[in-house]
A and B are shown apart, each in its own frame.
Chain A
Amino acid sequence: MSSHSEPSKPARSISPDDVKIPAGVVGTLGVLTAVGVVAFIAALTAGLSQRVWEIFLVNLLFFLGVAQAGVAASAAFYLTQARWAGQVQYRLAEAFIAFLPVGFILFWGLYVGRTEIFPWILHPIANKETWLNTPFLFARDGLGLFIITVLSFWFVKASRSEEALEWVADGNNIKMPPRAIRRLAPAIGIAYVLVYSLLAFDLVMSLSPLWKSSLFGWYFFAGAWWSALAMMALIAVLLGRRLPSGNVFSRPKVLHDYGKLVFAFSVFWVYTLFAQYIVIWYGDIPIETFFIVVRDHYMPWLPLSWSAFVLIWVIPFTVLMGARPKRTPAILGTVAFLGMIGLWLERYVLVVPSLSPHKVPFGWVEALMTLGFLGLFGLCSLPGMRRVIAAASSTAVGESE
């Protein structure tokens, strides 16, 4: 990916501006975005607006989740004083931040398609109008997203400051991060938990307005968090091969640490899934069970739900159990890649069956719009990736052993 081919030297330092992303990559991402936009317009003109807004919501939740959970992961690294990959782990976690304002703008697209996705607008639920009404929903979610986006940029600015870089450079001490980080990192954590719980309740749970599960918000942001970790592991593997030898991602120890995170939080995800499942299954109250039954007991959704379960938990848990698979780039990369697909599928299965319980609407609209989101997410990540590549290729930054 980088055009640098100089031999590895002990004190190599590269600036993000020197990193050249190949034109092919930029071009492909641009084309994908354009395809998505064209498909979006074509599908709307063809009268497929329900499918358009469904898949729009699925992709928004998925990609916004990766970008925001990445920033939250960076905050968590600071709070736990983690410096196992030096500067690189912070740059990688924050790499997708530019998607946050884009996601914030796209969120307002839901306002246009609101009647297609929120069943309670056309068929209001008695007693629930105080919470489930259009102005209040968009006001609270919009405000939440706005606050967390601003906080994230503020935090990442502090994270890229000289002081923070200095702190990250030497991991062999018990020093606390600089004061600005100490203030902002907890704020990011709290905002992430609150805003993403709110999004889970409003943008996913309310699509089946009679259903409720108090753990659902937690489950939702645990999934987003895991997708950010899997994304980091995937990029670490991809870059480890392409960057000059001696780069941070080529070290088995660093991959091992990413692998541990992917393993551990896959287990945590399934824990939050199971904790809901068993309570609902055992209680056997129809108003709680219908949400699950439609997804994992009956066709056509059954295979999709179980595939997500296999991709997010069964495979990472069984494959990454040992140390060696975590340190082997091909294995870690494959598991992370399949996991990303699994989590996308999971978001799809959370959203769509509420609106289309008997049919899986998947065709050109869904495929092309998803590619469009992927392209847009990729384009937004490019500035961040420049920093990642620069940091990963620079060996001047010391890491703790």
Chain B
Amino acid sequence: MAAAAEPVSGPTYADIDRGVRKIMEAPGFVYWVWVGFCFTLVAIAAALWTRQIYVGLGVTGLRQGPMWAMYITNFVFWVGIAHSGTLISAILYLFRTRWRTAVYRVAETMTLFAVLTAGLFPIIHVGRPWYAYWLLPYPNERSLQPDFRSPLVWDAFAVSTYLTISALFLVMGLIPDVANARDVAKGWRKTLYTILSLGWRGTDTQWQHWSMAYLLLAGLATPLVLSVHSVVSWDFAMAQLPGWHSTIFAPYFVAGAIFSGVAMVLTLLIPMRKIMHLEDLVTEWHIDNLAKVVLLTSLIVSYSYGVESFIVWYGKDPIEMMTFHERYFGPHGWVFWVCIFCNCIAPLPLFSPRVRRNTVVLFIITIFVNIGMWFERFMIIAVSQENNFNPSQWAIYHPSITEIMITVGSFAWFLGLFSLFARFMPIISMTELKEGIHWLREAVRDDYYPGLK
């Protein structure tokens, strides 16, 4: 390596250890207020859900017309958020992408908690949640199996596989870092880290097995990035309902998932980097590259909006035409235009490297994307059902306070879990940052953009 001859400048191994261990120090008062706030909202949502179970689904806005609305929107939104983790840790790992090192743990953590959040919603949505296990093939004396022709069953398989693999991925990747933390931890933390590090000593054989296992998991997880949200999209596309039945749904949903997921990574990472002073570990280079993924997937989502509408216009099916006319200009038309602005127009400034490297502007854009992607799911799922083949079933969906508060609660649940993890576990991979310290130093030197000042 040519760089070995140069004097070392930029972060050292010790700086990386110090930086990450500092995040794991005992958190202060403000932190606990924040976590307390999050879980208070979760408690309110839980209370409302209990009431819903007791009183029945009548407390929701689910009436005639849209029977799948906010809960299913949340399910799809959170499964989508989960996608960036596997993209970054599996696909970009196989592509030998250099910038993933500092950000992949954040993405993986987010993935796990997002899937956990998503998994709640099908259960919240059904009238008798205690029968949720009917979705899974379970042993019973009459050999009754779930209906394998139902996309909802495919979903149960896809999402639970995804949960398993992403949890394994996270736990596997943590081993060397947790072992690192174990060596300096005290008290209950030491016990926890000792258990989680599975006897890691960093011997040659351990590294070999660990790297091979990581590679294999990456290979296994890669098809999941595409398959999970494809299967979710088929919950809708299998039906003949206009607005749902479209062949582009699978890749369109996957692109949207990665789009919203990476935007959410940035939404979490940018403030965290600022509060914890991680500028030398999570550099503008990492942020810039994440922003490029947001831009790319935004373009794919725009393409999908365009083609979907074009094909409806080209097909000239009167019912489909009417559904899309209502989607643009009907009572919920504003939802469509929010999506267009947030998902197609707001990310366009990311073409400029200056915008991508300006964390304030970037943070605002990612907030728009989060909003836009939630509304996209809502538009597809709820608004499409407002007009179907039978005019007597037409109805406008109005969410109830129960649904709104449970939605807010899901965000709080996600943010609360993430905040807990971020202060008690190594949220940045020390191992991989050290492996790629050469790139990190170049990134800190900030001379990789020729002609940009």
Contact = CB atoms under 8 A, between A and B. Distances in A.
A272 B249 contact: no
A283 B238 contact: yes
Contact of A186 (B316, B351, B449, B450): B351
Given A193-B303, A213-B311, A285-B240, A280 B443 contact: no
Contacts of B248: 214-215, 218, 275
Interface residues of A, number: 35
Interface residues of B, number: 40
B448 A280 contact: no
Nearest to B308: A214
A139 interface: no
A173 interface: yes
A190 B299 contact: yes
Nearest to A268: B226
B139 interface: no
B285 A214 contact: no
Nearest to A211: B315
Contacts of B251: 215, 218, 271-272, 275
> Of residues B240, B251, B308, which shows the largest number of chain A Cβ atoms within 10 Å of its Cβ?
B251
Contact of B245 (A178, A190, A279): A279
Contacts, number: 89
Most B CB contacts (10 A, CB to CB) among A131, A276, A283 go to: A283
A48 to B, nearest CB: 32
A214 B247 contact: yes
A162 to B, nearest CB: 13
Given A174-B98, A176-B449, A280 B247 contact: yes
Nearest to A284: B240
Interface of B: 1-3, 95, 97-99, 223, 226, 230, 234, 237-240, 245-251, 285, 299, 303, 307-308, 310-311, 314-316, 351, 439, 442-443, 448-451
A179 B451 contact: yes
A142 B274 CA distance: 51
Given A175-B450, A176-B450, A276 B247 contact: yes
Contacts of B308: 214
B314 A212 contact: yes
B314 A131 contact: yes
A127 B247 contact: no
Given A193-B303, A212-B311, A178 B285 contact: no
Contacts of B97: 80
A217 interface: yes
Most chain B CB inside 10 Å of its own CB: which residue of A174, A176, A213, A283: A174
Nearest to B351: A186
Contact of B247 (A131, A172, A197, A216): A216
Contacts of A176: 448-450
B280 to A, nearest CB: 15
A283 B314 CA distance: 19
Given A174-B439, A215-B246, A275-B249, 12 more contacts: A131-B314, A174-B443, A176-B450, A186-B351, A193-B303, A212-B311, A214-B246, A214-B310, A215-B250, A275-B248, A282-B234, A283-B237
